[in-house]
């Protein structure tokens, strides 16, 4: 694959995210470009294929060491989506709540354990995400998620309630 020499134009709204410094905005745009356009979606693959990445260490440092508020970035992302007619929430839209098991092999990952996978019809090793997704007749996109952990006292229903409260009270989803 040819290298990606410029950041995708769809990442330009990230420049408006006040919760990220200019350097963090650059790395967020680089990472997003890599997730969309690179053939290898790993940190190493993105650093190799997306020339503005400034190397594997820079991308990895952004994801693991930089101090940034993921919830605030998500709120700013959802605010940006409300500025455009094709992605603005509609009273005819739906919030879909579900959970999904992502199969994993590592033992040291957060929240990893044995979970029943309804798609497989059996218990598998992985991470279980509870998430909310918005959909209407013109668009669909993720809203929020929580990692379910057997060691936590909260149930999947508790996590779903947290998501709904956050979306109603803090983000303004109808």
Give the pLDDT confidence of 101-116 residue by residue, as tens digits.
Answer: 999 998 888 899 999 9
- pLDDT, one tens digit per residue, over 42-99 is 999 999 999 988 889 999 999 989 988 988 999 999 999 999 999 999 888 999 999 9
Nearest to 6 by CA among 42, 32, 40, 39: 32
Residue tagged 């998500």 (tokens): 74
Residue 100, classed as helix, strand or coil, is: strand
Which H/E stretch holds residue 114?
Answer: strand 113-117
Q: Is residue 16 a contact partner of residue 25, using CB atoms and an 8 Å limit?
A: no
* Banded model confidence at residue 17, pLDDT cuts 50, 70, 90: very high
* Banded model confidence at residue 161, pLDDT cuts 50, 70, 90: very high
Tell me, what DSSP letter sits at residue 68? -
pTM surpassing 0.85? no
Assign 3-class secondary structure to 137-162: CCCEEEEEEEEECCCCCCCHHHHHHH
């Amino acid at each position: 694959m040819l290298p990606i020499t410029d950041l995708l134009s769809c990442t330009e709204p990230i420049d408006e995210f006040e919760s990220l410094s200019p350097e963090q905005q650059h790395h967020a745009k680089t990472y997003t470009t890599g997730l969309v356009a690179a053939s290898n979606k790993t940190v190493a693959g993105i650093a190799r294929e997306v020339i503005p990445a400034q190397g594997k260490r820079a991308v990895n440092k952004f994801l693991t060491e930089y101090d940034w508020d993921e919830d605030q970035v998500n709120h700013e992302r959802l605010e940006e989506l409300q500025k455009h007619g094709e992605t603005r929430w509609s009273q005819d839209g739906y919030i879909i709540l579900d959970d999904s098991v992502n199969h994993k092999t590592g033992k040291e990952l957060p929240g990893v354990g044995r979970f029943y996978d309804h798609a497989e019809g059996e218990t598998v090793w992985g991470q279980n995400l509870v998430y909310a997704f918005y959909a209407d007749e013109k668009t669909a996109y993720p809203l929020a998620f929580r990692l379910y952990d057997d060691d936590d006292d909260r149930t999947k229903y508790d996590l779903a309630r947290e998501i709904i409260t956050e979306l109603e009270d803090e983000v303004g989803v109808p």
